[in-house]
Amino acid sequence: MRKSEGRPWIWLLPSFFLLILVGIIPFFILLYLSFSDYFLLYPDIPRVFVGFKNFKNLVFDPWTYNALQTTFTFVGIALPLEMLIGLGLALLFSRPFKGITLLRTIMLIPLVIAPLVTGLIWNQMFNPDFGIVTYLLHSLGLFLNSGPTIDPSTALFSVAVVDIWRWTPFVMLIILSGILALPKEPFEAARIDGASRWQIFKNITLPLIRYPLTVAFLLRFMEAFKIFDEIWIITGGGPGDATRVVSIHNYKIAFYRWDLGYGSAIALFLEYITIILCAAFYKILQKSE
């Protein structure tokens, strides 16, 4: 055995150093700031420890409450649809047919586009005056003198459509990799026993792909819960506060009002709520097994 192979921690050092630098240290700074009064616009106001003041403000701030409600609604619309469509597409692409490689590649295009660019593209398509989506809706007699992103009742659903368009291929990819790795024997045995397609799917495929499904669900939940880029570009959180999800609320507090104390408290709260919900989902899924 070579000498260096006996010290694996040496090889871990670069990643460990990076983790400390971009993860651990910023987290403790965030923690410190969330218990302080810190306004970047007013450096003359001393940066003092204020205990739970920022968290107390958070609980009684109707804007934060509204933003959380909007975020849950957004996740509630986008996530189930992404999972369902992703599963359907994964099943479709799990069987060989002519042109499958080309189609699969095309399906992945939304994933490789930067979120900012996605936002810009859809912003133009939703443009109430000359956007293609608005034009098509107008020709169907819908949203006349309006547009899907400027009507407060449909704006959130519109940005959820963008999220579904962008992330469904990701869900499909994870589930597809799970399906393609499944053993063939249980399926052959089921077919010999005369099981229908639905029975095979319900009793064999679905239980066997529960892990990729769980991974896709949790990853998408975490991402959808902190969505920012697309909504920021398309609606900026409007009209009014119709699409003001909690990340946009947080950004406005921290980088528009430069209230870094309160902004940090919201960020920390967002972090914990994501962790707690993910842990809860994981437990539920484990129990259901």
Partner 1 sequence: MSQEPSKVGRRNFLNYLVAVVATGVVVGVGTYLAIPKESIEKTVTTTVRETFTKTVTQTVTQTSSPTTTITPDSWWADASKKYAGTTIRVLTESVPPSLILQKYVPEFEKLTGIKVEFEATYYDDVYAKEMADFAAHTAIYDVLYVEIEWLGAYAGAGYLFPVEDMIKEHPELTDPNLDLQDFVALDERKYKNKLYTLPYETFGYLYYYRKDLFEKYASDFKKEYGRDLQVPKTMEEYEDIAKFFTGREPNLYGHLAQAKTHNALVCDWQNFHCMFGSPDYEKNFIDPNKMRSSGVVNSSWAVEALEYYIKLLKYAPPGALTYTWDEAGAAMQEGLIAQGPFWGDWALSMFDPSVSKVVDKIGFAAFPRLSKNPEAKTMNGCASGWGINADSKHKEAAWLFAQWTKRKGFDAIWMKDAGVLGRKSSVNDPLVQEVNRKFGNLFTALLDASKYYYFPLRIKEYSEMKTAAEEPLGLAVNGKLSAKEALDMLATRWDEILKRSYP
**Interaction site with partner 1 (CB under 8 A):** 40-45, 63, 127-130, 145-147, 149-150, 152, 235-242, 252, 255-258
CA distances from 222 to 55, 80, 134, 196, 263 (A): 22, 14, 31, 36, 19
Three-state SS for 95? coil
Q: Which residue, 227, 229, 228, 215, is CA-closest to 278?
A: 215
Nearer to partner 1, 135 or 187 (CB): 135
What minimum distance in Å lies between the beta carbon of 67 and partner 1?
11
Nearer to partner 1, 221 or 232 (CB): 232
What minimum distance in Å lies between the beta carbon of 183 and partner 1?
52
Q: Which residue has the tokens 């871990």?
A: 12
CA distances from 57 to 11, 52, 60, 95, 248 (A): 45, 9, 5, 54, 18
Q: Which residue, 43, 83, 69, 49, is CA-closest to 212?
A: 83
Instruction: Write out the DSSP string of 197-254.
Output: HHHHIIIIIHHHTHHHHHHHHHHHHHHHHT--HHHHHHTTT-STTTT--HHHHHHHHH
Nearer to partner 1, 118 or 158 (CB): 158
Listed in sequence order, the residues at least 6 apart from 123 whose beta carbon sits closer than 8 Å to its beta carbon are: 233, 234
What minimum distance in Å lies between the beta carbon of 20 and partner 1?
19
What minimum distance in Å lies between the beta carbon of 202 and partner 1?
45
DSSP state of 6: G
What minimum distance in Å lies between the beta carbon of 259 and partner 1?
8
How far apart CA 31 and CA 194 sit, in angstroms, is 60
Nearer to partner 1, 118 or 149 (CB): 149
What minimum distance in Å lies between the beta carbon of 146 and partner 1?
5
Nearer to partner 1, 147 or 178 (CB): 147
Nearer to partner 1, 102 or 140 (CB): 140
What minimum distance in Å lies between the beta carbon of 54 and partner 1?
15
What minimum distance in Å lies between the beta carbon of 135 and partner 1?
11
Nearer to partner 1, 33 or 172 (CB): 33
CA 195, chain centre distance (Å): 37
Nearer to partner 1, 220 or 244 (CB): 244
Instruction: Write out the DSSP string of 127-181.
Output: -TTT-HHHHHHHHTT-STTS-TTTSTTTHHHHHHHHHHHHHHHHHHHHHHHHHHT
